[in-house]
Amino acid sequence: MTLARLAAAFAIATAAVAAAPLSHAAGAASLSSAVKPFDVHTLVRLERVSDPRVSPNGRTVAYTLRTTDYEANKGVQSIWLHDLEAGTTRRLTAGSGASHSPRWASDGSLYFLSTRSGSQQVWRLSLDDGGEAQPVTDLPLDVGSFVLSPTGDRIAVSVDSFPDLGADLAASKQRLEARAAQKNTGVVYERLFIRHWDTWKDGTRAQLFGFALDDQGAITGNAQWLSNGIDGDVPSKPFGGDEEITYTADGRFVIFTARIAGSSESWSTNFDLWRVPADGSAKPENLTADNPAGDSGPVVSADGRWLAWRAMSRPGFEADRNRIMVRELNRDGSLGPAREVAPKWDRSPDALQFSPDGRKLYATADDLGQHRVFAIDVATGKTKALTGDGHVEGFALARDALIVAHNTLASPSQLFRIRLGGSAPLQLTQHNAATLAATGFGDYEQFSFKGWNDEKVYGYVVKPVGYVAGRKYPIAFIIHGGPQGSMANDFHYRWNPQTYAGAGFAVICIDFHGSTGYGQAFTDAISGHWGDRPLEDLQKGYAAALAKYSFLDDKRAVALGASYGGYMVNWIAGNWAEPWKALVNHDGVFDNRSMAYSTEELWFDEWEHGGTPFERPAAYEQFNPVNHVAKWKVPMLVVQGGMDFRIPVEQGIATFTALQRRGIPSQLLHFPDENHWVLKPQNSVQWHETVLAWLKRWTAE
């Protein structure tokens, strides 16, 4: 069926689902001269709110604020406080270095990570005496993360060190310095990983150490090696943090997440929960050995009775549904049987927190294009959404309320207080207020249509800034990565639809089969079907949008995406070229088979294709973009990070080589100092300006 016929059919058959009405100044026909359309220069300079933490007395929220030092080409983090009773907000940390990860101690003092001493260490600030922050640790190596005991007498810290040197961190530092001084640079590897995300392996591991705290809150005595005997990283690499580590309520034990590496680390998702005495007097014991899939995110109820965590069911699948599990922690150290909470709730939570009485668990999860906080009754499994449309980036409990960092497609995160009784959210912070008041955003709307297998699929359309009724606008069709992800109602700092809306494009985003937040069967549908089911959704979603929104100019349409979205750009170049004036492929797969042999996390490709490339070569070839290069004809911009080990640089080079050899207009934008993402502020500006120049070149009237 042609797209024109699809569009005509959807004009009758599509069932639209609108988001909550929005009223942005930029959506009006007459854009005020004082209002500037949103662009990348505004994006990279916005202050970013994250990680809210509520004090033990429930009065104060500490959070991290990231600002941009554009000349230094980096972000700078500081800690801020909001007084819930007075309604005031102030900056807590200043001076040199970055400060982040605020964590309250039971006595009301605040611990945090800071680089103010020249290395990243734990610091403590007593808010009662108004004094200066004092160092808690002064270790030879950087502290990656930390967790405080609820009893206030111990701290656990994660440090990258050499496991064979145990708790002698000074010896680990000496070995690193000796290596750096060597003239020869060769490294011999005997097993995978040899590199991960953007870092080559050097023999160190993230190891967990425990310390006693003195009366001033500083470490005292020798380090206790809590992860002794664990051949793995605590927390996990590359993105794990202190959410993978917790103390029991009585402070006697530490429970943490770890995967035993061995020779299978690069194709295993078998993370387990381990328990170790807080003083390191015994080696860790495995609490979840019966589950060969992933277990993570342990949390303990305030009364110490219950342990809860997230567990997957299928080994090797990183996007399996997270089940919520609980076990009783008996006083004698034994554990009750594991039980699943809310087994019929078809969502996958990514954070857990107990209510003070232990009767409820609070969790965040993707849900129909939003990312909400849910309350789950531990006894009955009954669930209730506590937040509406938008994206909750983080949350904390404050007496009878939730404190959430919340954003939408047209607003970066702010802190809000939501009364658990059901009152309207109250905005607490006003970061970027002047900038946002002078910035125009595009109005947006969620819609739905029948996709693959006649199942409902959702998407978003964003109007261009300064939209005028009756005009037609070029289309930026953004394809999300993952593929088990979502192009949802959130404020993204790399793939933000508003940067295209501000440049005069209308934006279409489709949550095709494989996306998260629509039930596990919907997410599972993409595995083994990279090139057919999601492509059908994208085609039908594009047609549905054309039928519903008359301002979309289908004669000036471009498609762009990263990671799996970049793969799909390569795939549609040979299988759905007709609508597109130009394409943009960022870090996309060009050849499924070579990708499977050169990426680092092998479990991903092996799950998605049903086995290894030598066991199932046909599965890797079925939807392989390299096999369709002869049909390529659409101009393409290729973007590639030189430090991207997830989709290595050769995939981008091969894509560009194929385009050049075919004589297709093309460009390659290579960032030698970026990984799978473009993170440096000035690189982000160059990325956006290059991409938009390419899109405008091919959509100019």
Any residues with CB less than 8 A from the CB of 21 and at least 6 apart, and which?
Answer: none
DSSP character string of 106-141? TTS-EEEEE-TTSS-EEEEE-TTTT---EES---SS
- How many helical (H) and strand (E) elements, i.e. helices and strands, does the chain have? 13, 40
DSSP state of 329: B
Distance, in Å, from the CA atom of 300 to the CA atom of 304, rounded to the nearest integer, reads 6
Alpha carbon distances (Å) from 151 to 148, 252, 253, 597? 8, 9, 11, 48
CB 293 within 8 A of CB 313: yes
| Structure-block tokens of residue 568 | 């799909």
Alpha carbon distances (Å) from 586 to 188, 238, 480, 576, 629? 32, 21, 11, 18, 17
Distance, in Å, from the CA atom of 522 to the CA atom of 189, rounded to the nearest integer, reads 40
Catalytic site residue 563? yes
Q: Which of 78, 515, 563, 684 is catalytic?
A: 563
Q: Which of 320, 524, 587, 644 is catalytic?
A: 644
| Number of neighbouring beta carbons within 10 Å of residue 95 | 10
**Burial environment of residue 119 by CB neighbours within 10 A (0 to 12, 13 to 18, 19 or more):** middle
CB 23 within 8 A of CB 390: no
Q: Which of 406, 529, 676, 688 is catalytic?
A: 676
Any residues with CB less than 8 A from the CB of 578 and at least 6 apart, and which?
Answer: 3
Nearest to 198 by CA among 645, 653, 681, 695: 645
| Structure-block tokens of residue 274 | 């381990």
Looking at this protein, which amino acid is placed at residue 321?
R
Q: Vertex 588, ends 639 and 690: CA angle to 5°?
A: 20
| Structure-block tokens of residue 655 | 């894509």
Nearest to 200 by CA among 225, 179, 231: 179
CB 306 within 8 A of CB 327: yes
CB 298 within 8 A of CB 307: yes
DSSP state of 18: P
Distance, in Å, from the CA atom of 273 to the CA atom of 248, rounded to the nearest integer, reads 13
Looking at this protein, which amino acid is placed at residue 636?
M
- Enzyme catalytic residues: 563, 644, 676
